[in-house]
Chains A and B, each alone.
Chain A
Amino acid sequence: MTLYAVTGALLVALGLYGLIAARALLRRVVAFNVVGSGVFLMFGALGWHAGQADPVPQALIITGIVVALSASALAVGLVVAHARATGSQVLEDDAR
């Protein structure tokens, strides 16, 4: 289980790096999903006690996935609208 938890933590770190460092908006949306997956993986792994899975984290992970999906849908919608309006897939202040 430790392996899963560590993998989750690594995913969180990778995703956070992407969220901060990436400029392309779509990459940032993907990065957010990577962080989310990492957190859910950690949650599932930490909910494993003495050979038994704790059902509460699983219920919360399902809810979290639904929430993350809605957030991603809104984000992608905004990215598309932004690209149509400005012809750019980067935020104005980030374009160097």
Chain B
Amino acid sequence: MSAMIALLALPLAGALAAVATPRQGARIAGLVALASAVALALLIAQMTSAGSVRVAPGGWDAPLGIVLEADGLAVGFIALTVAVMAGVIAIAAPMRSLAAPFWPLAMLAWAALNAIFLSRDLFNLYVGLELLTLAAVALVAMGGDKALGAALRYLIFALTGSILYLAGVVLVYSAHGMLDIDLLAGTMPGRTDRMAMALMTVGLLIKTALFPFHVWLAPAHAAAPAPASAILSALVPKASFVILLRLWFEAMPDTANDRILSVLAVLGALAVVHGGAMALRQGRLKQIIAYSTVAQIGYLFLVFPLAGGDSAAQPWAAGAWTGTVFQALGHGLAKAAMFLCAGMWIIAVGSDRLEALRGLARALPMTAMAFAIAAITLMGLPPSGGFTAKYLMMTTAFASGQVVWGLVLLGGGLLAAAYLYRPMALLFTREMPDFTPVPRALQLVPLVLALLAVGMGILSDGVYTFVQIGRPGAAEEGL
């Protein structure tokens, strides 16, 4: 239990400490990462023997208190956050161009992410979402005067999203008089539940940047400094997606019907196509990586018809649900690696224009390697985590006769190969560019993140079992 509280409190305390001593920001963040890794290891060890861990802070249990629960889903994403944050800290610490406020903001975002992953209370989730939004918008604004417009657009979208979510929470409370996810799961559906779910879902879709609410994402993620972009693309949209999973699969699965779930998946499919097509047309690397996030988020929404509604009781639901979690985790690792590579190339050649990338594979071989390995995960090729994700979702799509979603997965992979080919072809041209050298130890960081994404595929059996811990209906075996 104390490990769980430590995971919440460490980044929050770190953020405050970094505000008080601005020069020590990088060192404090490093310590927080180390301590969080230890707490995470303890929590994982505890969960593998005893299942999910529940805490009612202060001894106040639901419905009055706010319950925290570490299940496989939560801890999978907390582990992703620790890995990405550690990589970001390693890269950002020696960057002199990064202003001091980066550190408290990054740690605030971290605390908010952990709070969202662990919380079982709909209103507490709202507070977490807002804290995350404020930190994320400020991180975008660190990109300088040119980033202010993108940050403001992001803020307007995000605030609209959170206020819609809150309106849904109000309806849930007025119908049920409680906001705890587990207690709500045991109630009879109320008359206003559909409306509440619609409001909360639309709000969260805006925050997750699902098509057609994605217009804020690419400018914001491309305008932020590269280490901030890694946090924004790899982690931030995952938080609102985890809440969507909790709502539709845990709190109120009965409000779902096939039509609603299909609409979500259709939007996901459109995101895959649109994000891929936009990524193909960009001339800057960070824009390509950002639009690729729009496309990769699209896949996540195929989970709703594959594992929800009528499919929920089927043997294949577990496979599709876990495949989606694999996709979210694998994308997080790969996308962080890519943005960190981009950051180093900007240091090396002063630009992220595609033309400037010429021959960088010779100049900085380890980063080019990291980019290529991360690309394998995004394309969904074996043996990466992205492949396991697509394999699991595809088997479900065919087994359940929803072939069209399988085609989206295939087509999306081809599009990813096409838009990632452009930067890679330039990276691997045979010429030696003029560049500022980057220390080898730094080049290693994105490589480690990219290899973790592949490792998820190789060790998929263990990861699969772990994220299933505490999943409702997990007793049913996957295909």
Which residues of A are at the interface with B, using a C-beta cutoff of 8 A? 12, 16, 19-20, 25, 28, 32, 35-36, 39, 42-43, 46-47, 54, 56-57, 60, 63-64, 67, 70-71, 74-75, 78-79, 81-82, 85-86, 91-92
Instruction: Report yes or no: B152 in contact with A82, Cβ–Cβ below 8 A.
Output: yes
Q: Is B333 an interface residue (CB 8 A)?
A: no
Secondary structure at chain A's binding surface: helix, strand, loop or mixed?
helix
Q: Which of A20, A35, A78 contacts B141 (CB 8 A)?
A: A78
- Within 8 Å CB of A71, what residues of B? 130, 133-134, 155, 159
Contact A91 B133, beta carbon cutoff 8 Å: no
Quick one: which of B276-330 are within 8 Å of A by CB? none
Give residues of chain B (111-139) contacting chain A, Cβ–Cβ below 8 Å: 123, 126-127, 130, 133-134, 137-138
Contacts of B130 in A (CB 8 A): 67, 70-71
With A and B bound together, what is the CA distance between A64 and B466 in angstroms? 35
Query: Would A57 and B173 count as touching, CB distance under 8 A?
Result: yes
A42 touches B167 (CB 8 A): yes
Inter-subunit contact A91/B137 (CB<8 Å): no
> Is the CB–CB distance between B152 and A91 below 8 Å?
yes
In the complex, given contacts A64-B166, A91-B149, what are 17 additional A-B residue pairs having Cβ atoms less than 8 angstroms apart?
A35-B160, A35-B163, A39-B163, A46-B174, A56-B173, A57-B173, A63-B123, A64-B126, A67-B126, A67-B127, A71-B130, A71-B155, A74-B134, A74-B137, A78-B155, A81-B145, A86-B149
A-B pairs, top 4 by smallest CB distance, nearest first, are A46-B174, A85-B145, A82-B148, A43-B170
Kindly state whether residue B362 has any CB partner on chain A within 8 Å.
Answer: no
In the docked arrangement, what's the CA distance between A81 and B151, Å? 11
> With A and B bound together, what is the CA distance between A81 and B177 in angstroms?
42
Which B residue sits closest to A73, measured CB to CB?
A: B134
Complex: chain B residue closest to A66, CB-CB: B127
Whether B353 is near chain A, meaning CB under 8 Å from some CB there, is no
* In the complex with contacts A46-B174, A67-B130, A78-B163 CB distance below 8 A: no
Complex A-B: 27 CB contacts under 8 Å? A20-B160, A28-B156, A32-B160, A39-B163, A43-B173, A46-B174, A47-B173, A54-B177, A56-B173, A57-B170, A63-B127, A67-B130, A70-B130, A71-B134, A74-B155, A75-B152, A75-B156, A78-B141, A78-B148, A81-B145, A82-B148, A82-B149, A82-B152, A86-B145, A86-B149, A91-B152, A91-B153
Q: Which of B134, B137, B174 contacts A47 (CB 8 A)?
A: B174
A60 to B134: give the CA distance in the assembly, Å. Answer: 19
Complex CA gap A57/B166 in Å reads: 12
With A28-B156, A57-B173 as given contacts, are A39 and B166 in contact (CB-CB < 8 Å)? yes
B170 touches A46 (CB 8 A): yes
Bound-complex Cα distance A57 to B174 (A): 9
**Alpha-carbon distance A67/B126, docked complex (angstroms):** 10
Contact A32:B141 (CB < 8 A) given known A46-B173, A46-B174, A81-B148:
no
Contacts of A81 in B (CB 8 A): 141, 145, 148
Secondary structure dominating the interface of B = helix
- Given the interface pairs A19-B156, A67-B127, the reply to whether A39 lies near B170 with Cβ below 8 Å is yes
A92–B149 alpha-carbon span in the complex (Å): 7
CA–CA, A86 to B145, complex, Å? Answer: 8
Knowing A12-B167, A64-B166, A85-B148 touch, does A75 contact B159 (C-beta < 8 A)? yes
Q: How many angstroms between the C-alpha atoms of A57 and B156 in the bound complex?
A: 26
Nearest A-chain residue to B146, judged by Cβ: A85
Residues of A near B177 (CB, < 8 A) are: 54
Q: Cα distance A82–B223 when bound, in Å?
A: 14
Contacts of A19 in B (CB 8 A): 156, 159-160
Nearest CB of chain A from residue B236's CB, rounded to whole Å = 16
Residue of A whose beta carbon sits closest to that of B174: A46
Closest Cβ–Cβ distance, residue B93 to chain A (whole Å): 26
A35 contact set on B, CB distance < 8 A: 160, 163
The answer to whether A60 and B137 touch across the interface, beta carbons within 8 angstroms, is: no
Q: Is the CB of B167 within 8 A of A25?
A: no
A78/B151 in contact, CB under 8 A:
yes
Query: Which A residue sits closest to B154, measured CB to CB?
Result: A78
Chain B residues with CB under 8 A of A54:
177
User: A60, B141: Cβ atoms under 8 Å?
Assistant: no
Q: Is the CB of A32 within 8 A of B159?
A: yes
Contact B123–A78 (Cβ < 8 Å): no
**Which residues of B have CB within 8 Å of A79?**
152
Residues from chain B with Cβ under 8 Å of A43 in the complex: 170, 173-174
Q: Which residues of A contact B167 (CB under 8 A)?
A: 12, 39, 42
